[in-house]
Amino acid sequence: MQEVMPATGVFSLLWLLIALPLAGAAILLFSGRKTNKWGPYLGVFTVFVDAVIAIWMLIAMMGNGSEQRTFSQNEFSWMFAGNFKVDMAFQLDQLSMVFVLLITIVGTLIHVYSLGYMSHDPDKRKFFGYLNLFVAAMLLLVLANNYLLLYVGWEGVGLASFLLISFWQIKPTAAAAGKKAFIINRVGDVGLSLAIMVMFVTFGSVGFDEVFGSTGQASEGTLTAIGLLLLLAACGKSAQFPLQAWLLDAMEGPTPVSALIHAATMVTAGVYLITRSNPIFDAATWAATAVVVIGVITMFMGAIIGSAKDDIKKSLAGSTMSQIGYMVLAAGLGPIGYVFAIFHLLTHGVFKAGLFLGAGSVMHGMNDNVNMRRYGALRTAMIVTYATFIIGTLSIMGIPPFSGFWSKDSIIHAAFESNTLVGILTIIAAAITGFYMTRMAAMTFFGKARWEDGVHPHESPKVMTIPLIILAVGSTFMGMALLFWGNIETWLEPVVGIKKEEIGIPDWLLMTITLVLVLAGAAYGWIQYARREVPIVAPRGNWLTRAAREDLYGDAVNNTLVVQPSFWLSRFLVWFDGSWIDGFVNGSAAFFGGLSARLRPYQSGFIRSYALSMVGGAVLVVLALVLVRLS
Amino acid sequence: MNPSNYVILSALLFGIGALGVLVRRNAIVVFMSVELMLNAANLAFVAFARMNGNLDGQVVAFFVMVVAAAEVVVGLAIIVQIFRSRRSASIDEPNLLKY
Amino acid sequence: MNSFPWLTVLGLVPLGGSVVVALLPKSKPLLAKQVAFAISLVVLALVVVVALKFDGSSNSPYQFVEIHDWIPSFGVTYSLGVDGIGLVLIALSAVLIPVTILAGWNDVEQPQAESVGSVKGYFALILVLETMMIGVFAATDVFLFYVFFEAMLIPVYFMIGRYGGAQRSYAAMKFLIYSLVGGLFMLAAMIGLYIVTGTFNWFAILSGADIDPTTQKFLFLGFFLAFAIKAPMWPFHTWLPDAAAASKPGTAVLLIGVLDKVGTFGMIRYCLPIFPAASDFYAPVIIVLAVVGIFYGAFVALGQNDLKRLFAYSSMSHFGFIILGIFVFTSIGISGATIYMVAHGLSTAALFLTAGYLMQRRDGSSLLSDYSGVNKPAPVLAGFFLFAALSSLALPGLVSFVGEFMVLLGTFQRYIWVGGIATLGIVITAAYVLRVYQKSMTGAVGSGLEHIKDLTGREITALVPIAALTIFLGLYPAPVLNVVNPAVDTVMTLVGATNPEPTVGISSTTSQGAQQ
Amino acid sequence: MNAVASVIHAVDATPWVMPTLDYRLLAPVLIVLGAGVVSVLFEAFLPRGARRPAQLSLVFVSLIAALIAVINLNGVRETAGQGALAIDGPGLILQGTVVVIAILGALLMAERGLDPNGDAFAARASSLPGSEDERQFTARGYFQTEIWTFFLFAVGGMMLFPIANDLLMMFVALEVMSLPLYLLAGMARRRRLLSQEAALKYFVLGAFASAFFLYGAALLYGFSGSISFAGIASSLGSKTGETALILIAIGLVVAGLLFKIGAAPFHQWAPDVYQGAPTPLTGFMAAAVKIAAFGALLRLLYVALGGMRWDWAPMLWVISILTMFIGAILALTQSDMKRMIAYSSIAQAGFILLGVVAASAAGLAGSIFYLIAYAFTTIGVFAVISMVRDENGEATHLSKWAGLGRKSPFIATLFTIFMLALTGIPLTSGFIGKFYVFTAAYASGDKWLVIAAVLASLIAAFFYMRVVVLMFFTEPTQETATVAIPSVFTTVALAASATVTVLLGIFPQPLLDLINNAGVFIR
Amino acid sequence: MNSVNTGEAIVFWVCAVLAVLGAVGLITSRKAVHSALWMALTMISLAVLYIANNAPFLGMVQVIVYTGAVMMLFLFVLMVVGVDSSDSLIETIKGQRFLALLLGLLLIVILVWGLGSSLAGLPAVGLDGANRVDGGNVQSIAHLIFTDYLVVFEVTSALLITAAMGAMVLAHREHWQPKPTQAQLSVARFKGDEHPGNRPNPGIYARHNAVDTPALLPDGTPTDASIPGALRARGEVAPVDINDGRAIEEADSL
Touch between C and B (at least 3 CB pairs under 8 Å): no
Cis peptide before C502 (omega within 30 of 0): no
Instruction: Say yes or no for a CB contact (<8 Å) between C169 and D443.
Output: no
Q: How close is the nearest chain D Cα to the Cα of B38, in Å? A: 6
A490: domain range? Answer: 352-552
Beta carbons of A535 and A373 less than 8 angstroms apart: yes
Q: How many residues does chain A have?
A: 631
Among the partner residues D128, D207, D212, nearest to B85 by beta-carbon distance: D128
CA closest to B52 among chain D residues: D225
Touch between E and A (at least 3 CB pairs under 8 Å): yes
Instruction: Say yes or no for a CB contact (<8 Å) between A203 and C332.
Output: no
Beta carbons of D426 and D294 less than 8 angstroms apart: no
**Residue E150: HSE in the Cβ half-sphere, 13 Å Cα cutoff:** 16
CA closest to C382 among chain A residues: A169
Among the partner residues E115, E120, E121, nearest to B11 by beta-carbon distance: E115
pLDDT at C515 over 50: no
Q: Mean pLDDT check: name the lowest of A306-320, A367-381, C501-515.
A: C501-515
Q: Whole-angstrom Cα distance, residue A191 to residue A294?
A: 15
Residues 11-70 of B with CB under 8 A from D: 14, 17-18, 21, 27, 30-31, 34, 37-38, 40-42, 44-45, 47-49, 51-54, 56-57, 59-60, 63-64, 67, 70
pLDDT of residue C113: 46
Pair (A483, A436) in one structural domain: yes
**What's the pLDDT band for E128 if we cut at 50, 70, 90?**
confident
CA closest to A606 among chain D residues: D201
Domain coordinates of chain B in residue numbers?
4-86
Beta carbons of A26 and A86 less than 8 angstroms apart: no
pLDDT at C507 over 60: no
Pair (A429, A486) in one structural domain: yes
**What's the pLDDT band for C148 if we cut at 50, 70, 90?**
very high
Q: Whole-angstrom Cα distance, residue C184 to residue C196?
A: 18
Q: Mean pLDDT check: name the lowest of A135-149, A302-316, C499-513.
A: C499-513
Q: Which helix (H) or strand (E) holds C321?
A: helix C307-327
Pair (A513, A584) in one structural domain: no
**What's the pLDDT band for C13 if we cut at 50, 70, 90?**
very high
pLDDT digits (tens, 9 = 90+) for E28-46: 888 888 899 999 999 999 9
CA closest to D340 among chain B residues: B99
Listed in order, strand segments (DSSP E) in C32-165 are: 63-71, 76-82
Among the partner residues A595, A614, A624, nearest to D266 by beta-carbon distance: A614
Q: Whole-angstrom Cα distance, residue C139 to residue C161?
A: 28
pLDDT at A473 over 70: yes
Pair (A582, A523) in one structural domain: no
Nearest to D251 by CA among A155, A84, A628: A628
Residues from chain E that touch D247, judged by Cβ atoms under 8 A, are 114
D482 CB-contact burial (10 Å; exposed 0-12 / middle 13-18 / buried 19+): middle
Instruction: Say yes or no for a CB contact (<8 Å) between C514 and A169.
Output: no
Question: How large is the average pLDDT for residues A533-548?
Answer: 81
Q: How close is the nearest chain E Cα to the Cα of A620, in Å? A: 10
First-to-last C-alpha distance (Å) of chain B: 50
DSSP C364-415: T--BGGG---TTTT-HHHHHHHHHHHHHHTT-TTSHHHHHHHHHHHHHHHH-
At residue E106's C-alpha, the angle toward residues E105 and E112, to 5°, is 85
At residue D155's C-alpha, the angle toward residues D153 and D156, to 5°, is 60
**Distant-in-sequence, close-in-space partners of A171: CB < 8 Å, separation ≥ 6:** A252, C443
Residues from chain B that touch A605, judged by Cβ atoms under 8 A, are 95-99
Domain coordinates of chain D in residue numbers?
20-518
What residues pair up with B26 in beta bridges, in sequence order? B90
Pair (A451, A510) in one structural domain: yes
Beta carbons of C47 and C163 less than 8 angstroms apart: no
The residue ranking higher by pLDDT, D99 or C201, is D99
pLDDT at C141 over 60: yes
Cis peptide before C377 (omega within 30 of 0): no
Nearest to E58 by CA among E149, E141, E136: E141
Instruction: Name the stretches of chain D with pLDDT < 70.
Output: 1-16
Instruction: Say yes or no for a CB contact (<8 Å) between D473 and C181.
Output: no
Q: Please report the ipTM that was assigned to this predicted complex.
A: 0.89
Pair (A489, A573) in one structural domain: no
Among the partner residues D212, D247, D329, nearest to A595 by beta-carbon distance: D329
Nearest to E150 by CA among A143, D58, D30, C364: D30
Residue D273 Cα distances to B22, B98, D123, D276, angstroms? 19, 10, 20, 5
- The CATH class of E6-85+127-171 is mainly alpha
Identify the sign of the CA torsion E204, E207, E211, E212.
Answer: negative
Among the partner residues C116, C150, C177, nearest to D426 by beta-carbon distance: C150
**Distant-in-sequence, close-in-space partners of D162: CB < 8 Å, separation ≥ 6:** D90, D91, D94, D95, D98, D291, D292, D294, D295, D296, D298, D299
Q: Whole-angstrom Cα distance, residue D49 to residue A156?
A: 91
Beta carbons of E129 and D260 less than 8 angstroms apart: no
pLDDT digits (tens, 9 = 90+) for B54-88: 888 999 999 999 999 999 999 999 988 888 888 77
Select from B31, B38, B45 the residue whose CB has the most chain D CBs within 10 Å, as the one to mutate to test that interface. Answer: B45
Strands D388-390 and D85-87: unpaired
**What's the pLDDT band for C514 if we cut at 50, 70, 90?**
very low
Q: How close is the nearest chain E Cα to the Cα of A617, in Å? A: 10
Select from B10, B37, B46, B67 the residue whose CB has the most chain E CBs within 10 Å, as the one to mutate to test that interface. Answer: B46
Beta carbons of B48 and E125 less than 8 angstroms apart: no
Question: How large is the average pLDDT for residues B10-17?
Answer: 93
Q: How close is the nearest chain A Cα to the Cα of B15, in Å? A: 10
Beta carbons of D401 and D130 less than 8 angstroms apart: no
CA closest to B77 among chain E residues: E167
pLDDT of residue C403: 92
Nearest to A146 by CA among A38, A241, A273: A273
Among the partner residues D10, D40, D248, nearest to E110 by beta-carbon distance: D248
At residue C462's C-alpha, the angle toward residues C456 and C467, to 5°, is 110
Pair (A524, A389) in one structural domain: yes
What residues pair up with A144 in beta bridges, in sequence order? A90
Beta carbons of D267 and D327 less than 8 angstroms apart: yes
Question: How large is the average pLDDT for residues A517-539?
Answer: 85
A265 in any annotated domain: no
- Tell whether D176 lies on the interface with E, counting CB pairs under 8 A: yes
Cis peptide before D265 (omega within 30 of 0): yes
CA closest to C149 among chain D residues: D426
Q: How many contacts does B have with E, using Cβ atoms within 8 A?
A: 265
Identify the sign of the CA torsion A345, A346, A349, A351.
Answer: negative
Among the partner residues A604, A609, A615, nearest to E104 by beta-carbon distance: A615
Instruction: Say yes or no for a CB contact (<8 Å) between E164 and B73.
Output: yes
How many CB atoms are closer than 10 A to CB D130? 11
pLDDT at C88 over 50: yes
The residue ranking higher by pLDDT, A579 or D138, is A579
Reduced to 3 states (helix: H, G, I; strand: E, B; else coil), residue D86 is strand
- CATH number belonging to domain B4-86: 1.10.287.3510
Select from E37, E73, E111 the residue whose CB has the most chain B CBs within 10 Å, as the one to mutate to test that interface. Answer: E111
The residue ranking higher by pLDDT, C343 or E239, is C343
First-to-last C-alpha distance (Å) of chain D: 41
Q: Whole-angstrom Cα distance, residue D381 to residue D282?
A: 10
**What's the pLDDT band for E204 if we cut at 50, 70, 90?**
low
Please state the φ and ψ torsions of residue C63, each to the nearest 5 degrees. Answer: -125, 170
At residue C25's C-alpha, the angle toward residues C22 and C26, to 5°, is 85
Q: Whole-angstrom Cα distance, residue C335 to residue C330?
A: 8
Domain coordinates of chain C in residue numbers?
6-515
* DSSP letter assigned to residue C475: H
pLDDT at C516 over 50: no
Domain coordinates of chain E in residue numbers?
6-85+127-171, 192-253
Q: Which helix (H) or strand (E) holds E223?
A: strand E222-223
pLDDT of residue C43: 93
Instruction: Say yes or no for a CB contact (<8 Å) between B60 and D197.
Output: no
Identify the sign of the CA torsion D203, D205, D208, D213.
Answer: negative
Reduced to 3 states (helix: H, G, I; strand: E, B; else coil), residue D424 is coil
pLDDT at E85 over 80: no
Tell me how many domains chain A contains: 2
pLDDT of residue C506: 47
Portion of chain A with pLDDT greater than 90, in percent: 14
Instruction: Say yes or no for a CB contact (<8 Å) between D128 and B21.
Output: no
Interface of C with D (CB under 8 A): 69-74, 113, 116-117, 146-148, 150-151, 153-154, 157-158, 161-162, 168-169, 172-173, 176-177, 180-181, 184-185, 187-188, 191-192, 194-195, 218
Instruction: Say yes or no for a CB contact (<8 Å) between B91 and A607.
Output: yes
First-to-last C-alpha distance (Å) of chain A: 82
pLDDT digits (tens, 9 = 90+) for C344-359: 999 999 999 998 888 8
